[in-house]
Amino acid sequence: METEPRFPTSREVAEALLLDAGQRSKLLAYAGARFGLALEDSEDVLQDTALELLRQRTIVRNPRGFVFSVFHGRCCDFLESRRRSRRLLPNNLSGSAPAAGPAPDETIDDRLALRQVFGEVSTSCRRLLLAYYVEGRSLREAASAIALAYSGVWKTMTRCLRRLRRCLA
């Protein structure tokens, strides 16, 4: 018999979120500050978050971390789907506010530039980025797989990320 200690389920975490106006306000503020989402959009994302939590009955050991993670993922999902809809529709037909980010062509140019730089960064950096972004490893796991001291990985990655950011700037 499984005798797991009592932790809340994702559904119970959703219940707590719905009762905790303070936590909801913090999440809405986070979506605004970090992703530039309008309050109305943030509330939609929060609603999707609550529904996602209610749909699962997974045992959760770190409720606040779990809620944050689902909310963060939903914010990214929201931005991505907004970008997709902008790509499919001209701006004036997309039904949403004018874009706060780059136009689609700029995004594509950015990606082409990134692709090019991606091919030029150091082998260690490329291996780590591929392990994280393509193979789905965690960054910690990806870094430990590189045959460099951890401080070496640190320096290489920081240099490489700076270069990639410059490419997007």
Partner 1 sequence: MPGLMRAAHLDDFTLLRYTARDLDEPDRRQAEEHLQSCPECETTLASIECLDRELKAVASGIPAAGDLSPDDPFARRPKHRPPPAPSPRGDFAKLAAAALEASERAGDSSVRILAAARGEAGELAALMDGLALSDAGDRFALLYALQEAGRQIAENPLRALGLAQAAIAALERAAPGGDPNGASERMVPLRALEAQACLLAGQAANWTGELEAARKRFEEAYRGFAESTGDEVSFAMVEYSESQRRSFAGLPGEGALLARRAAASFAAAGLEDYVARSRVAEGIALAKLNREEEALAAFRAAAAVFLERQLWSNYVGAVNAAGACLMRAGRLAEARREFARALKSVSRDRHAAWVPYIRNGLANVLFSAGSYADAAKAFSQTARLFAELNLVGQTLIASLYEIESWALAGDHARAGHRLELFRAEVARHRALDPAIIGQLEAALSGENPDFREIANLRQRAEEILRDRFEKNRAS
Residues lying near partner 1 in the complex (CB under 8 A): 1-5, 11, 14-15, 18, 34, 43-44, 46-47, 50-52, 54-62, 65-66, 69-70, 72-73, 76-77, 79-81, 84, 95, 107, 110-111, 114-115, 118, 129-130, 132-141, 150-151, 153-154, 157-158, 161-162, 164-165, 168-169
E strand intervals along the chain: none
Q: Least distance to partner 1 from the beta carbon of 5, Å?
A: 7
Q: Least distance to partner 1 from the beta carbon of 90, Å?
A: 17
The answer to whether 15 touches 57, Cβ cutoff 8 Å, is no
Sign of CA pseudo-dihedral 122, 128, 130, 132: negative
Cβ nearer to partner 1, comparing 46 with 86? 46
Q: Least distance to partner 1 from the beta carbon of 42, Å?
A: 10
Cβ nearer to partner 1, comparing 23 with 137? 137
Rounded-to-integer distance, Cα 19 and Cα 146, Å: 45
Q: Least distance to partner 1 from the beta carbon of 138, Å?
A: 5
Q: 25: which residues sit within 8 A by CB, 6+ positions away? A: none
Rounded-to-integer distance, Cα 28 and Cα 13, Å: 17
Using alpha carbons only, give the angle 65, 134, 128 rounded to the nearest 5 degrees.
85
Q: Least distance to partner 1 from the beta carbon of 147, Å?
A: 15
The answer to whether 31 touches 49, Cβ cutoff 8 Å, is no
